[in-house]
Amino acid sequence: MLTNLETLSLHKNTLKGHIPVSLGNLSKLGYLRVDDNKLSGSIPLELETLYNLVKVNMSFNFLTG
């Protein structure tokens, strides 16, 4: 499992679709970078439970919320 993941950087990968709700299960995640992709839909509310998350970049996508 990826439950110990602290950094997730997937910028400029031409990712499409929604941000998975399951990212909210990564309780140790402190850095999330998914900018410059083609992600769409709303930002999952489950990300609000990531208390270690200090840096997030979701710019240059088609996200709402």
- Write down the pLDDT at residue 3: 87
- Write down the pLDDT at residue 64: 92
What are the backbone angles phi and psi of residue 62, rounded to the nearest 5°? -120, 50
Does residue 1 fall inside a structural domain?
no
Does residue 17 fall inside a structural domain?
yes
Q: Residue 30 — pLDDT band, cuts 50, 70, 90?
A: very high
Q: What are 2-28's pLDDT values in tens digits?
A: 889 999 999 999 999 999 999 999 999
- Write down the pLDDT at residue 22: 94
Does residue 18 fall inside a structural domain?
yes
| Cα–Cα distance for residue pair 9/17, rounded to 1 Å | 17
- Write down the pLDDT at residue 58: 97
Provide the mean pLDDT of the chain.
Answer: 95
Does residue 2 fall inside a structural domain?
no
Does residue 26 fall inside a structural domain?
yes
**Total structural domains within the chain:** 1
